Amino acid sequence: EREILRGAGAAALEGLQPVLDDAAVLSLQAQTDAVKVEESLLGYVMAIVQATRTHAALALGVSPRGSLALVQAAKALALIDGRHYCVPDDIKTLAVPAFAHRVLLRARWEQSVEQSPDADHIIREILRDVPVPR
């Protein structure tokens, strides 16, 4: 790691070749944008987001940008899985990584650190509580 910090890793980076060209990236973006998300799934995302905004352990919930990021990531996951539509599992799979860094926990002065939930735990708890659309 020290060598990387000194810049010794820069030579290795210079030898990297792109995996995709510009056209391929733009094509994948367009394909992702074309993935369908049913209204019921948008409602599911909104219910999860609203739960982050009202959760007692969170001082700040997920913003509209966060909900957009989750939907876009879910569309990309659906595309990777070979589908042109999202399913609830796409949302559930990505909610923690998409949201955990976007929420702000309340001060932990009421509990010991061992008892205080982290953001990942709270998002998983919300996912357990919010009904999944059928």
Structural domain spans, the chain? 36-129
On average, the pLDDT of the chain sits at 91
At residue 58, φ and ψ (nearest 5 deg) are: -110, 130
Question: 118: which residues sit within 8 A by CB, 6+ positions away?
Answer: 100, 105
The fraction of the chain above a pLDDT of 90, given in percent, is: 77
CA dist., res. 60 & res. 71, Å (int): 20
Dump strand ranges (E) for 7-132: 58-60, 104-105
- Both tokens assigned to 14: 């210079």
Residues 89-129 pLDDT 10s: 999 999 999 999 999 998 764 555 555 679 999 999 999 99
More confident position, 110 or 55 = 55
Residues 21-46 pLDDT 10s: 999 999 999 999 999 999 999 999 99
39: left (phi over 0), alpha (psi -120 to 50) or beta: alpha
Residue 100 is predicted with a pLDDT of: 95
Looking at CATH, the fold of the domain delimited by 36-129 is given as Helicase, Ruva Protein; domain 3 (1.10.8)
Residue 93 is predicted with a pLDDT of: 98
**pLDDT band with cut points at 50, 70 and 90 for residue 9:** low
Confidence (pTM): 0.84
